[in-house]
Amino acid sequence: MSQVLESFAAIDFETANEFPTSVCSVGIVIVRDGEICDSFYSLIKPEPDYYRQINMGIHGITPEDTVNAAVFPDVWMQVEPLIEGLPLIAHNKGFDEACLKACFKTYMMDYPDYEFYCTLQGSRAILKGLPNYKLTTVAEYCGYYLDNHHNALADAEACARIAIRLYSR
């Protein structure tokens, strides 16, 4: 992406198991005119509602954390007004976009065909010579130390800061 992007919503999901519908948390960071201006975080009751040990080991979210959490459609009703009219950006958009589309399909919601950009692809194209293009590596290169990796809000903020560096004037 070579265009300038001043306003967007960075998004990150964590999942409970191998299914993309099993989102158990979402983090969103809103950027307007190249500045972070808002954020949103919520735990979500996953569908299907079970956790794999490997997933819990990555993000630290457990069944006890989401037993009383809202289901995806209820959480998304809070998200929609925040992201209205904004493109979405994720680091490795294939994962987050797949989760979003799967949740919309599972809950029989009309998918609004969000415009999605990827800071992983963008950083590979623009930032040459990094040892790897993992979120933590790219964020640190862009001046943001990600000390709570795999917290959806922290990852969304790292993604937002990368996108500001890559796509803002």
Compute the average pLDDT of residues 19-29: 98
In this predicted structure, the answer to whether residue 9 has a pLDDT above a threshold of 90 is: yes
The conformation of residue 41, written as its DSSP 8-state character, comes to: E
Domain ranges of the chain: 8-164
In this predicted structure, the answer to whether residue 32 has a pLDDT above a threshold of 80 is: yes
Compute the average pLDDT of residues 60-74: 98
Higher pLDDT, 66 or 5: 66
In this predicted structure, the answer to whether residue 4 has a pLDDT above a threshold of 90 is: no
Residue 1: the pLDDT is: 43
Q: Which helix (H) or strand (E) holds 117?
A: strand 116-118
In this predicted structure, the answer to whether residue 3 has a pLDDT above a threshold of 80 is: no
Could you tell me which CATH class the domain 8-164 is placed in?
A: alpha beta
Q: Give 27's Cβ-side CA count (13 Å radius).
A: 20
Quote the mean pLDDT of the chain: 96
| Model pLDDT for residues 96-144, shown as the tens digit of each residue | 999 999 999 999 999 999 999 999 999 999 999 999 999 999 999 999 9
β-pairing, 88-90 vs 23-32, is unpaired
